[in-house]
């Protein structure tokens, strides 16, 4: 049955070799969808499988963490409003052990809820009700972002800070710093062009590949996280500097 779905997914991507190649890459990717609403889980599963992904599902946080440990998915689509162990608790647990990409689903419209999720290390978010086609696009964008970083093949050095792009690793004074894929992409975008001033919109586009929404406060949340991890004093940053009224820049040597 799975083989038949894979053949259908390849056909649905179109007849050209580039499209089939992209879909073949998707077939090797496993997405975990975590939501306690069966209808939402089924819709997400149908669209993602049609796009060529392997999909696992969970309806609660503890089951989701168990699936992550045993099946090691490539990305998690995670609802914040789970019963018992909510999505924020799941995100905290995941971030203690891994940098697995996370796209949050939330029915909450309050800005503070979204910022908390992003500050905990989520890579993106979508507000319910959402477009299933947009969910697929965002999953692809996050995975593509990770793959592009893995193929750059360069080291970026700034003082005691080193970014290893092929491995998506950050070291400070030869000490490994754990960052999420989005945090790495953001830091690399800034560090590649020290002194250049980036607006929040430009950084949002750089880390997503496509600016689905103008939710630029997300950038502030990721910058806050990065400063906690790489700055000797996050309140007096040495590396990521604020350009008031404009955005951010990486320090020049």
Domain positions in the chain are 2-148, 152-250
Quick one: pLDDT at residue 202? 81
CA distance 55 to 40: 13
CA distance 162 to 170: 6
Tell me the per-residue pLDDT of 24-66, one tens digit each, with 9 for 90 and over: 445 579 999 999 999 999 999 999 999 999 999 999 999 999 9
Instruction: Select from 132, 82, 125 the least CA-distant residue to 105.
Output: 125
CA distance 133 to 37: 18
Tell me the per-residue pLDDT of 87-124, one tens digit each, with 9 for 90 and over: 999 999 998 878 889 998 887 666 666 777 777 878 88
Q: Which tokens sit at 208?
A: 């997503």
Sort strands 75-79 and 30-34 into parallel, antiparallel or unpaired.
parallel
User: Cβ(77)–Cβ(139) under 8 Å?
Assistant: yes
CATH class of 2-148: alpha beta
Query: In the CATH scheme, what is the code of domain 152-250?
Result: 1.10.10.10
CA distance 20 to 251: 42
CA distance 165 to 182: 13
* Within this chain, domains 2-148 and 152-250 share the same CATH topology: no
The answer to whether residue 178 scores a pLDDT higher than 70 is: yes
């Amino acid at each position: 049955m799975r083989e038949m779905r894979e053949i259908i997914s390849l056909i649905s991507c179109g007849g050209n070799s580039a499209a089939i190649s992209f879909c073949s890459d998707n077939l090797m990717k496993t997405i975990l969808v975590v939501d306690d609403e069966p209808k939402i889980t089924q819709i997400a599963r149908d669209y993602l499988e049609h796009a060529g992904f392997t999909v696992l599902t969970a309806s609660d946080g503890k089951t989701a963490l168990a699936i992550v440990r045993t099946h090691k998915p490539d990305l998690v689509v995670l609802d914040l409003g789970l019963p018992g162990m909510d999505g924020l608790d799941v995100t905290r647990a995941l971030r203690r052990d891994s940098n697995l990409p996370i796209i949050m689903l939330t029915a909450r419209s309050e800005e503070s809820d979204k910022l908390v999720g992003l500050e905990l290390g989520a890579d993106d978010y979508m507000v319910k009700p959402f477009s299933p086609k947009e969910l697929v696009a965002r999953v692809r964008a996050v995975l593509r972002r990770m793959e592009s970083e893995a193929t750059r093949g360069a080291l970026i050095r700034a003082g005691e800070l080193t970014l290893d792009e092929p491995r998506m690793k950050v070291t400070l004074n030869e000490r490994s710093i754990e960052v999420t894929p989005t945090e790495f992409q953001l830091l690399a975008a800034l560090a590649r062009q020290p002194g250049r001033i980036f607006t929040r919109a430009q950084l949002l586009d750089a880390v997503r590949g496509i600016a689905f929404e103008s939710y630029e406060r997300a950038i502030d949340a990721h910058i806050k996280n990065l400063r906690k991890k790489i700055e000797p004093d996050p309140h007096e940053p040495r590396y990521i500097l604020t350009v008031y009224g404009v955005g951010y820049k990486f320090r020049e040597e």
